[in-house]
Amino acid sequence: MYYESLEEQFQKNPNLIEYPKSIIQKLDDYIRSEYNHGYIYLNPYKFAYEYDLDDIDGVKIFLALTDQEKLFTVIPFVDCPCCVGKSLKIPKPLDDDYLYCDECRRNHTFKSLENSIYFYFKLNQRVTIPEKRRNILDRSFDPHSTSDIMERLNGNLKGTSPSSLASEVKRTQRYSGEWGRPRIQDITQYNRDSKNNPISEEVNDLELLLMQDFSNDTRSAL
């Protein structure tokens, strides 16, 4: 159901239908590459960089595929303010109003960590990557579909043809092949569709929960 779920989302999800089907193949390649290297936490900025997409498109694609019945779940992390390179995973649900770092052996309140939170994405537990890779483009190509024919033409003429918002996304320039991490501020900004509704309800609920904890932490400190 891995490929079927991907294809269905890109055909029916209003936040994905504007993207070409080639994105599905790129996403599959990225997920396989990361998992083959032992990386289970996925970064949409890295996906965008490696596959020549814009940062915002990378994040929005991941958000549109994030919810309980979809491909991804979101995992919040935070950098320990006292340690170098130490990331703390924020538990879901949040049982305490602080996080404990086993390296510096300190408790850190959520308020002190508010500006250091970032999100990674992970395959939902029920999702299994099939061993056999499928060529999604060949399987989904319809010779009677004008959009499918134009998509393939756009791919073949990519070096010389003008850009099209419906068939091509551009990548933001970065330095030395480096990518950042999706901060909670970025996710909050990008997790809205054209009607200002949440793209991912799971991410929206988590944002509200974290903001509530920050607020409670501030009141308790007064």
Residue 105 lies in a domain: no
Residue 182 lies in a domain: yes
Residue 111 lies in a domain: no
Q: Does residue 164 carry a pLDDT above 60?
A: no
Q: Which residue has the tokens 């814009």?
A: 54
Instruction: Tell me if 157 sits within 8 A of 24, measured CB to CB.
Output: no
Instruction: Give 119's contacts (C-beta < 8 A, 6+ positions apart).
Output: 74, 75, 76, 77, 181, 182, 183, 184, 187, 203
Region 185-200: what's the mean pLDDT?
93
In terms of pTM, does the model score above 0.75? Answer: yes
Q: What is the model's pLDDT at position 149?
A: 47
Can you give the residue range of the structural domain that contains 152?
2-74+120-221
Q: Does residue 51 carry a pLDDT above 60?
A: yes
Identify the CA nearest to 43 among candidates 156, 180, 170, 137.
180
As a whole number of angstroms, the distance between CA 16 and CA 152 comes to 18
Residue 179 lies in a domain: yes
Q: What would the two tokens of residue 37 be?
A: 């290297």
Residue 80 lies in a domain: no
Q: What would the two tokens of residue 207 be?
A: 């944002």
Mean pLDDT of the chain: 78
Q: Which residues of 97-111 are buried (b: 16+ CB within 10 A; e: fewer)?
A: eebebeeeeeebbbb
Q: What is the model's pLDDT at position 195?
A: 93
* Helix, strand, or coil (residue 183): strand
Region 30-39: what's the mean pLDDT?
94
Residue 75 phi/psi, 5-degree rounding, is -120, 120
Q: Does residue 141 carry a pLDDT above 90?
A: no
Q: What residues pair up with 119 in beta bridges, in sequence order? A: 76
Residue 177 lies in a domain: yes
Q: Does residue 56 carry a pLDDT above 70?
A: yes
Residue 197 lies in a domain: yes
Residue 183 lies in a domain: yes
Instruction: Give the chain's domain count.
Output: 1
